Amino acid sequence: MKSPLIERGSFSIERTYDAPPKDVFAAWSQVEAKARWFVGPENWTLVKRELDFRIGGHELLHGRLASGRDAIYTARFHDIVPDERIVYVYDMHYQMRDDKTHLSVSIATAEFEPIKNQTRLIFTEQVAFLDGTNGTEGTSSREHGTGAHLERLRNHIRPVGNG
Amino acid sequence: MFHALADASRRGMVDRLSEGPASVSELARPLAMALPSVVKHLAVLEAGGIVLSVKAGRVRTYRIAPDALSTVESWVAQRKAKWNSHFDRLEQYLSDQTRKPAAGDDEDKS
């Protein structure tokens, strides 16, 4: 089976932070601040980070995973309204030595909504996964299955120790 | 109600295991948490069918349970889990900022 299939999907995440929109926005617009939270999983190491935060500007996050594989995030900002919203398109690539795989292309929006002294962050992503059938060997079931478990768990997790 | 994934450390462990198997001490190393607490968290994940463990000698190794789906739902859910992980860290960062508003940028050793 060589023909690649594109898998599409979308999701939204809402979080409320105990900080005004300008502070939450700054955590996205300033590279030092973004480096505090926009990082890879445990045992991930940074290879290169760049952030040119303006419309048309480019972002890069290149890291090495515990497995020895590189994960490369590249983004381009399409719309920015300070303290209100950020619209960008990003690609994810995996790379193992010279073998580079294009995992996905996404359009993402982050909206910052003031609620008293807090901020509701609404993050929405529409994603096309390109690596469903012809990708890096071994990335399919075990690694990408994580999410299925997470969703399954949300549906039926019960208190531990009693039924 | 007890949600296995409502907990940021457990999300972190799942995130780590999605990159490959790891022992309890490997999972504990980056966390400011005693081993017994780590073991307790892993037991919750195992009870939820998210991870499996195998004991070889004295070392127990954990991995993501292999009966994973490769449907679009799982890809999207995994992507969503990544962002939830980021936003946990963002929350931590913002609360650190408000606790020391006078501080400019503190040392960054990366």
Domains of chain B: 4-99 (1.10.10.10)
Q: How far is Cα A39 from Cα A112, in angstroms, rounded to an integer?
A: 21
Q: Is residue A18 part of a domain?
A: yes
The residue-averaged pLDDT of B58-78 equals: 70
B34–chain A nearest CA distance, Å: 17
Q: Is A16 helix (H, G, I), strand (E, B) or coil?
A: strand
Which of B2, B14, B72 faces A146 most closely, judged by CB atoms?
B14
Partner residues linked to A92 by β-bridges: A73, A104
Instruction: Measure the CA–CA gap between A156 and A24, rounded to whole angstroms.
Output: 33
Ranked by mean pLDDT, which of A1-5, A75-79, B38-42 comes out on top? A75-79
Domain that holds residue A137: 8-156
- Residue A163 covered by a domain: no
CATH number at residue A16: 3.30.530.20
Examine residue A1 and state whether it is found in any structural domain, yes or no. no
Q: Evaluate whether residue A161 is within a structural domain.
A: no
Option in A44, A145, A151 nearest B64 (CB): A145
Question: Is A107 a member of any domain?
Answer: yes
Sheet with A58-64, strands from edge to edge, namely A7-17, A118-129, A99-115, A85-96, A70-81, A58-64, A45-51
Flag whether residue A6 sits within 8 Å of chain B, measured between CB atoms. no
Which residues 33-92 on chain B approach chain A with CB closer than 8 angstroms? 43-44, 47-50, 63-81, 83-87, 89-92
Q: Which two tokens stand for residue A67?
A: 């497995």
In a domain, A44, yes or no: yes
- Whether A150 and chain B come into contact, CB under 8 Å, resolves to yes
**Residue A49 in domain:** yes
Place of tokens 């900022």: B97
Please tell me if residue A53 touches chain B, with a CB cutoff of 8 Å.
no
Domain-embedded: residue A2: no
Across the interface, do B77 and A147 touch by the CB < 8 Å criterion?
yes
Domain count of the fold of chain A = 1
Weakest mean pLDDT among A54-68, B35-49, B80-94: B35-49
pLDDT band at B109 (very low <50, low <70, confident <90, very high): very low
Q: Tell me which of A27-41, A64-78, B62-76 is least confident.
A: B62-76
